[in-house]
Amino acid sequence: MALIVQKFGGTSVGSIERIEQVAEKVKKFRENGDDIVVVVSAMSGETNRLIGLAKQISEQPVPRELDVMVSTGEQVTIALLAMALIKRGVPAVSYTGNQVRILTDSSFTKARILQIDDQKLRTDLKAGRVVVVAGFQGVDEHGNITTLGRGGSDTTGVALAAALKADECQIYTDVDGVYTTDPRVVPKARRLDKITFEEMLEMASLGSKVLQIRSVEFAGKYNVPLRVLHSFQEGPGTLITIDEEESMEQPIISGIAFNRDEAKLTIRGVPDNPGVAFKILGPISGANIEVDMIVQNIAHDNTTDFTFTVHRNDHLNAMRVLENTAREISAREVIGDTDIAKVSIVGVGMRSHAGVASRMFEALAKEGINIQMISTSEIKVSVVIEEKYLELAVRALHTAFELDAPARQGE
């Protein structure tokens, strides 16, 4: 008998019919004799709808109150699923994050899980009940409701699996696994049987929203066997593993990630003295803005240009801070650009292969796509390009690195 944590995402519980289908599925696992903890998201679109309501009151809603509100989406689905299970003769009970006591810090809208009380869950499981837990939410030490950031139900699932030492955490969603890239953008994307934690972490942090980054971090840290599966189609899904198999067929690149969430800022004609980077980025981090990619040009005429990217939501704020800095250090001008996208190739195979980056640049050059910024690490290469070329770039790279699925007959 196994203990399995099953997380169902928004589209999988997006209607009463789907919730009934999920209940059928959970019932089958139960009949196999497995102990089941289910984590659910809000119905698809519900979290966005709630945020939209708050934005009608204020452009920047108070984070504490936002969390009180958006956490309600998941409270609805846990109760509906528990009802659907009970209707089928499966004993079940639902809990909010607070009721379980999923203790988090107090960073509203992006809280981190500190501790999970597993007592209640274990008692219920022992009594033969399926436990249905609200994803995405917790409670801080003062009793305030918190949420874990968008996509946070994945993290609830993995954290519960870690706390309960579950045999597996299964993430059920609307695709049948992790693909070489978003299958909605590249129809030729291929499902991966396996991907390493390290690669999945890069893919998630570079924009593949199939798993929330923190859920992958948690799974790696606590060694939780994690699998991504389709909610309503049979199949093996994708296993996230520790092993880096040494096989001849190990591809150099496992996947391509992309995002449109960044904006670029350039400060030009900066007097080139020691400490320039600190003078420019110090006030940015002082304003609590995270910087991603950075490029500083070699100086000529004793001045330099300095370019960096931030989250698009922080763009206006960062522009304001940078314009101030420009005045203080007598820089020539500040330029902002939100028409950018970041495309990244990811793969542990890169460690043992030279020339991966140049193959990437060649593929982009062939399509006439200009690269504005580059950053590399041991297992990834990222470039910033003009946003309108994003899909073209992802497709070209997918083909160049031989990731395309073989054409089916008749295609």
Contact set with Mg ion (CB under 5 A): 9, 151
Residues near 71 by beta carbon (within 8 Å), at least 6 away in sequence? 96, 97, 134, 136, 137, 145, 147
**Which residues, 6 or more positions from 204, have their beta carbon under 8 angstroms from its beta carbon?**
210, 211, 212, 213, 216, 257
Q: With respect to ligand ASP, which residue has the nearer C-beta, 135 or 347?
A: 135
Alpha helices in 104-212 (DSSP H): 119-126, 153-164, 197-205
Nearest approach, Cβ of residue 41 and ligand ADP (Å): 6
Q: How far is the CB of 147 from ligand ADP (least distance, A)?
A: 14
| Nearest residue (CB) to ligand ADP, 159 versus 334 | 159
Q: Pick out residues in 342-401 that bind ligand ADP (CB under 6 A).
A: none
CA 382 to chain centre: 17
Q: Which residue is at the shortest CB distance from ligand ADP?
A: 9
When the beta carbons of 10 and 97 are compared against ligand ASP, the nearer one is: 10
Q: Which two tokens stand for residue 12?
A: 């999988």
- Integer angstrom CA distances of residue 55 from 62, 65, 108, 263, 375: 10, 12, 16, 22, 35
CB of 14 to ligand ADP, least distance (A): 9
Which H helix or E strand runs over 225? Answer: none
Q: State in angstroms the smallest separation of the CB of 173 from ligand ADP.
A: 3
Exactly one of 11, 296, 317, 372 binds ligand ADP (CB under 6 A); that residue is 11
Count of alpha carbons within 13 Å of 75, Cβ hemisphere only? 15
Smallest distance, Å, CB 346 to ligand ASP? 22
Q: Which does 215 bind (CB under 5 to 8 A by kind): ligand ADP, Mg ion, ligand ASP, none?
A: none
Q: Determine the Cα–Cα distance for residues 115 and 131; give it in Å rounded to an integer.
A: 18
Q: Give me the least distance between CB of 74 and Mg ion, in Å please.
A: 13
Judged by beta carbon, residue 209 or residue 312, the one nearer ligand ADP is 209
| Cα 218 to Cα 239: distance, rounded to the nearest angstrom | 15
Find out whether 179 and 208 touch, Cβ atoms under 8 Å.
Answer: no
Q: Point out which residues bind ligand ASP (CB under 6 A).
A: 9-10, 41-42, 47, 73, 135-136, 150-154
Name which of 18 and 27 has its Cβ closer to ligand ADP: 18
Minimum distance from CB of 330 to ligand ASP (Å)?
44
Burial class (CB in 10 A: 0-12, 13-18, 19+), 142: exposed
Kindly identify the residues of this chain, within the stretch 126-185, that bind ligand ADP according to CB under 6 A.
Answer: 151, 173-175, 178-179, 181-184
Tell me: does residue 209 bind ligand ADP (CB under 6 A).
yes
Contacts with ligand ADP by CB under 6 A lie at: 9-12, 41, 151, 173-175, 178-179, 181-184, 208-210, 255
